[in-house]
A and B are shown apart, each in its own frame.
Chain A
């Protein structure tokens, strides 16, 4: 019962913008879109989250469509260190420990030199 759908893998040239898509067509009105990434052999790392407005921080930008059924994570100037598995997760913010985070298989982003 996957809440999100992501491509299994993507390539991007170093220095270019990496655009990672995520479909979440059954998202509820009180559910946020979260993005985490996992660099090989490390623990997952929080990137960004949003409800309906576009968000930007020092790591990335998050673009959510008006109907909220899909979103795109943008890494503006990808570097080799951005090679990782990227997870798109939808959940109620502050839902706390009720179900933790539900991780799918994510998108393996490979940055090419």
Chain B
């Protein structure tokens, strides 16, 4: 099992550009999440999905969009990049059954918007 994989590892964007951060998991997990982590801070939830075709907003959704067409993939879209979106982005997944909903995280995507 590869677990949770994210691409790209690093990216530099200019203000106003768009991009998609890719996330794939091979554990057949129902739940998937996108977090961002600013320097020296904890993680904040951007969006989450409870299954294919179902997504919902987290704490900081503005400026982002997501889709979940398959169980495995949960891409995060930035439409008009802004310097405030400079951050490290982590994707995670969980099975979510009773007390078994530990989350498994990918290695992260480091995004800089200039």
Contact = CB atoms under 8 A, between A and B. Distances in A.
Interface in B39-93: 40-45, 48-50, 56, 58-59, 90, 92
Contacts of B44: 103
A106 B43 CA distance: 11
B107 A101 contact: no
A43 interface: yes
A43 B92 contact: yes
A97 B56 contact: yes
Interface stretch (A17-25, A44-52, A63-71, A76-84): A44-52
A101 B50 contact: no
A93 interface: yes
Interface residues of B, number: 32
Interface in A79-106: 87, 93-97, 99-106
B104 A97 contact: no
A105 B37 CA distance: 11
Interface residues of A, number: 25
Contacts of B105: 43-45
8 contacts: A32-B99, A41-B108, A43-B107, A96-B101, A97-B56, A100-B45, A101-B43, A103-B35
Nearest to B37: A103
B7 interface: no
B101 A100 contact: no
Contacts of B98: 93-94
B107 A97 contact: no
B90 A43 contact: yes
B2 to A, nearest CB: 13
Nearest to A87: B42
Interface string A26-52: 000000101010000111111001010
B22 interface: no
